[in-house]
Structure 1
Amino acid sequence: MLAVLSLLNEAPRHPYEMQSLIRQRRIGDVVRMRGGSLYDAVVRLEKLGLAEVAGTSRDGARPERTVYGITEKGRAELRSLLSEYLGERADEYPVFPAALAHAHQLGRAEAGGLLRERAAELAVLIDKVEEDLRSAREAAVPRAVLLETEYAQVLRRAELGWLRGVLADLETGDLEWVELEWVELEEA
């Protein structure tokens, strides 16, 4: 809801244009949106009185598209959400730290292998996002609309540095590991 309200607050848009901006600005890195969910979100916002049809547009021979705009009620909701999300610290429970709390249930080698895979994927993602940020800057995308991507990139880099340190400690033995045995239950 926040992403759609924010895009509509900038200018009236049709959902396809919003999808393009979400990709260009990498908003999908911080907001889960799939295929038709953007269209569903716009319909929900309209039903709630937060968005309204602002007209239609047509590009060349393409079909006519419905353009939506934000309502005053939508602007108030956007302001309320931003005030809450920016000003209040929230406890979040991502799955990776939860898995780290129990990683010792796996053997040192298995846990290390999984962490190495994660580090490799993270390094590739960091490079890809850096390329996307460079392209966005060259396209004169304002930095203010890329802040969440910059923030996520800082977190990725910090995680990668931390992972590399943990992996080094695993390899040298500086990280003590509790080796547990898996007990296979017999079927009754």
Structure 2
Amino acid sequence: MSATRLLVLGIVRGYGRAHGYRVGNDLLSWGADEWANVKWGSIYHALKALTQAGYLLDHNDIPGRTDYELTERGEAEFVRLLRDAVRRPQPRPDFLGAALAMLPSLPRAEAITLLRERLATLEETRDKAQAQVDAWAEPPHVRELFGLWEQTAAGGAEWTRGVIERLEAGAYLMAGEPGSPGKPGSWPQLQSSTEHPEP
């Protein structure tokens, strides 16, 4: 799974139609170059690859500029990647970071269900690592590796429980809720409403 792929699809989806500079500008303004190793080259490579794979449709209406739009296949791929990134713990944090950036694209109940799956996996990993710590004999220093896995999974589980609690308490606007950024093509309308608030 590629965090860049998920992020690029998500931003194009959010705008409904976006050009490469807008996609890259948004990602870099979120610091994705640090937490997901997203660079300008990887963004344009992803746009090209996703278009060739049929996930994006390119438009060349303005000379010198290509706009991109999600296809039906692209919407299905975006949702698949997002669900997997939320439910499945990965060794690298960029997948989860990408999922969190796009979390409002999911309905609240679905996000909570996926996070509970993540929590169950993390608790199972924590318990398995704890058993390995307790049972390990030789060489003794390898016990530290299992201890690291235990602490990492325990920390992930605690954080996941907190996110579930916040979502259950109504935090954040999720897909299907008024004002949510989760609807395809909703970002321009949301930007307009914050730039020109109603009196």
Give the TM-score of the pair, scaled to structure 1. Answer: 0.44
| Larger relative helix fraction | 2
Give the TM-score of the pair, scaled to structure 2. Answer: 0.41
